[in-house]
Amino acid sequence: MAFQRARTDEQRAQRRQQILEAAAGMLTEMPVAQLSLNELSRRVGLAKANVLRYFESREAVLLVLLDAEVKDWIAALEATAPPVEGTSRERGDRLGELLATSMAERPVLCDLFSAQATVLEHNISADVAIGHKLVARQSIETLVRLVHRHLPELGIDGSVALVETTLLMAMTAWPCSRPPEAVQAAYASDPQLAGMRIDFTDLVRRTAAVTASGLIARQENAVAPSPIV
């Protein structure tokens, strides 16, 4: 079939959506590192140059998918009612469990997260970067409000700190928890080495829970009255 250029805004939007859907499908089959513009073009049925009419680079496509994955994840979290009972530590532990397990259930999100700073934010223009960061800022603000509903003791600043720490740990822990074949073989060969393997869910859960407890404790110490001498 000969290539037909999209001539209306509706046709261009449809073509962009086709490219995004093809890339999203590929990410269910392969990690971000293996998704190439050549293969994406083949699956969409367009020449690479024609794909680049709609997205300036492979990374620009993946950033749009990352933004969409984050929005879907936060929407699912918002559908979960915050706990109304329990100590701050108990609610912090539940929040850590919720954040960790919900991310672990979304491997595409975690893979995109882990590649964001080192891959996805390269080979893009300032305009694409601005658009992505504006969307990311809105998502982070929504996530901060969600955390604050679970743990109002944190305050807004504490909620921001918890979100930042948890996301950064998730970005780092995801690739480390999925070692290459040779490292997997090393773990399997020796029980002592196997203990070095990282459990993504457990590490992110502990990080979020301990960070929440630490932030609350620091705030309580800061406002505690001085003892009378």
| Chain Cα centroid distance, residue 163 | 11
Answer whether residue 18 shows pLDDT above 50: yes
How many C-alpha atoms does 209 have within 13 Å on its Cβ side?
A: 18
Q: What pLDDT is recorded for position 88? A: 93
Contact between 70 and 102 (Cβ < 8 Å): no
pLDDT of residue 4: 56
pLDDT digits (tens, 9 = 90+) for 48-59: 999 999 999 999
Tokens of 28: 């269910």
Separation between Cα atoms, residue 12 and residue 16, nearest integer Å: 6
CA angle centred on 108, ends 12 and 20, rounded to 5°: 5
Is the pLDDT score of 3 beyond 60? no
- CA dist., res. 37 & res. 48, Å (int): 7
- The identity of residue 17, as a single letter, is Q
Residue 137 to residues 112, 124, 131, 134, 147, Cα–Cα distance (Å): 17, 18, 10, 5, 15
Name every residue whose Cβ is closer than 8 Å to that of residue 182 and which is 6 or more positions away in sequence: none
- Tokens matching residue 105: 């259930």
Half-sphere exposure of 37 (CA within 13 A, CB side): 16
- Predicted TM-score (pTM) of this structure: 0.88
pLDDT digits (tens, 9 = 90+) for 168-203: 999 999 999 999 999 999 999 998 999 899 999 999
- As a whole number of angstroms, the distance between CA 155 and CA 81 comes to 19
Q: Which of 205, 86, 95, 212 is nearest to 158 (CA)?
A: 212
